[in-house]
Chain A
């Protein structure tokens, strides 16, 4: 099983600042990584697939990078609606696995 480890667990950021979230895989994924956003009481939403391709309708302030075992989700200038929990997910191999999530909170 590929273990996905996200850091930090909680990130305190002020509106307008940049947020950098990390996701590490226990083995190489090539680019088979997705990122999701989940706001309280809401269903998860796809942000990024293929490590760096934004999903339809996702603002350009969200960007994904990385390959192999190290991946990053960057939110360039946090808006109030971006405070949420973010999950990475690998689809390189079965079983599919998620990271434990990073909560982005208001500083």
Chain B
């Protein structure tokens, strides 16, 4: 079973609209990363959250980690074509490997 669940699996949004992607774990997270991947290319680091209740923003993208450190959301405001791609959350559950969710494919339509 997947340790990290992302929802939705895919999302089609009209340009200019807001959207939210969720990442949920059944275990407490030691750290949560958000990445963006252009189709078939490498992953680009967006931000990392470590503290319960933490919120970070980069341009029009905001990510939050809940107080229990088991769920994170990624919110994009006024979406643009450049936001299209696959968004992945990655998490460390201890001092071992980084586990990734299956990703959310975001399509922006004009």
A and B interact: no
Residues of B within 8 A of A (CB): none
